Structure 1
Amino acid sequence: MVSLASGFDEVHVAGAALDAYPVPLLILDMDGIVRSANAAWTRAMSAACVGLPFGRDVHPEDRGCWQALLRDARDGHDGMAARSRLRLLHPAGDLRWFDCTVAREGASYYLSLVDVTQEQRRANALEARLRGVLGLLDGMPGLLYRGRNNRSWTMEIVSAGCEALTGYPPEWFVDSHEHSFSQLILPEFADYVWYGVQEALAERVPFELRYRIRCADDTIKLVLERGVGIYSEGSEVLGIEGAIFEVREGAR
């Protein structure tokens, strides 16, 4: 692994060498006090930091993470890097997000920062929109979902109605490596559901399937699932979305 200290040595700490780097680079002592910072740090944060603890610029809720980052770098071998995303408090009052990489060599920490503020803001905005969508979905009956097209039927979004249908809360399904909707489908229906969805996706048409699931309380329910594929501009299947409802026996 290339050391973070390469081209970042003590000889050039006070010179212009560090200023050629496009990302903020800092050297800290073992107490977390900044001993040197390049021009990219000043451009990013509009503040001097030499002689001050770096942790003062870290958002209070992330300071525990910052201390853990230092411990990981301290306890590793020289040059071994520890990484985390941290929020820093800009003097103007707004938050900046940085992907931080820290390595220790001798009695110093070497810190590099990559500004990911715009990326994080877009992610936060998307999460806020998804919360709004989920608020709408949660008021509807049945299990409404968006998921991946795999044998496990991995769920990315699940409405609150899933608990009334299956007995499991949404958190049981979403992006879980231990639980999946496929576990509820009775074995004799597993291939029917899989191939039914794949055929519809290949023809780019909606699918409608009836099958049975085993709920959390061990009861068996007949369900109706209606869904569609999600496709990229190149016609690649990105996932599926749809709704699953209980069907009363004998109902058409």
Structure 2
Amino acid sequence: MAKFFFDSHIPVDAQGGDLDGYPLALLRLDRQGRLRQYNQAWSALMEASRLGGELADYLHREDLPHWQAALDELREDGERSLHRRMRFIHPRGDLRWFDLHLGRRGEHYYVALSDGTRRRRQEIQLEASRRAAKSLLDGLPGLIYRGRNNRHWTMEFVSAGCLPLTGYPAEYLTNTHEHSYSTLILAEYVDYVWSTVQCALLKHEAYELSYRIRCADGRIKDVWEKGVGIYSDTGEVLGIEGAIFEIGGGASL
């Protein structure tokens, strides 16, 4: 049988199954948020065995208001359960991210915690990589894009170079048919651009073309574009990505 610890510090057989066998840390708290019972997974995670102390003692101070708010919610409505991600400070000083599932039954709170530290660190690294990549792309001259292979040339990503090239901010041309990039291409070049790109995609080759666009202020610019297709494992075209640059100094109407 599983052993749990209560205020008396005397091991007591847990009722309802072998909870020490669960990989999740399981806690029981009183109405003040003090530890009254826990399983071995909590001890393994936090090297903690002090009963009577508040769980808040282990929390990062910036998450203390969120913790108190969660307890207040459960005091008002004991039928609901809550999910929160909060930061804990390990006794050794390490920062940990835990996913908490909280509920209340009678006068006690019940908490299940899973360690999300590795996942959160991966998310932080990915976010940093994305920011660095975006900063690099936004610093390049011209318009860097990723989009869908349709007649609208719907853009899913457009770099900040869109504004000096077209006069429109990147958001204006992103994920919209009404303001799609195709509306900037002069009518006499529309079929040429479409057919050139489609021929290259059929051959799984890069495409390269020159044409003219109308900018936000009415100016006509000559541009050069180079791009490639994005393909599935079966060869289906999932999208396109490339770059568009101005050639020459542009012309006025």
TM-score normalised per structure 1:
0.68
Aligned to 2:20: 19
- What is the CA-CA distance between 1:195 and the residue it aligns to? 8.1
Aligned to 2:51: 50
Aligned to 2:175: 180
Q: What pairs with 1:91-170 in structure 2 (closer than 5 Å)?
A: 91-146=91-146, 152-155=154-157, 158-166=158-166
Aligned to 1:86: 86
Alignment CA distance shift 1:147-1:187 (3 Å): closer
Alignment CA distance shift 1:45-1:136 (3 Å): same
- Are the counterparts in 2 of residues 184 and 213 from structure 1 also a CA contact under 8 Å? no
**How many corresponding residue pairs?**
230
Q: 107-116 or 189-198, which moves further after superposition?
A: 189-198
- Structure 2 Cα separation of the partners of residues 70 and 198 of structure 1: 59
Residues 85-111 of structure 1: CA distance to partner in whole angstroms, max 9, x if unpaired? Answer: 222111222221222211223332221
- Structure 1 Cα separation of the partners of residues 70 and 148 of structure 2: 34
Alignment CA distance shift 1:48-1:203 (3 Å): farther
Q: For structure 1, list consecutive stretches of 5 or more residues without a partner in the other structure.
A: 1-7
- Structure 2 Cα separation of the partners of residues 65 and 59 of structure 1: 10
- Are the counterparts in 2 of residues 154 and 173 from structure 1 also a CA contact under 8 Å? no
Letter in 2 for 1:154: E
Q: What is the aligned-residue RMSD (CA, Å)? A: 4.0
Larger radius of gyration: 2
Residues 193-220 of structure 1: CA distance to partner in whole angstroms, max 9, x if unpaired? Answer: 78876665554332446564664xx656
TM-score normalised per structure 2:
0.68
- Structure 1 Cα separation of the partners of residues 76 and 70 of structure 2: 10
- Structure 2 Cα separation of the partners of residues 77 and 173 of structure 1: 47
Letter in 2 for 1:48: S
Alignment CA distance shift 1:43-1:134 (3 Å): same
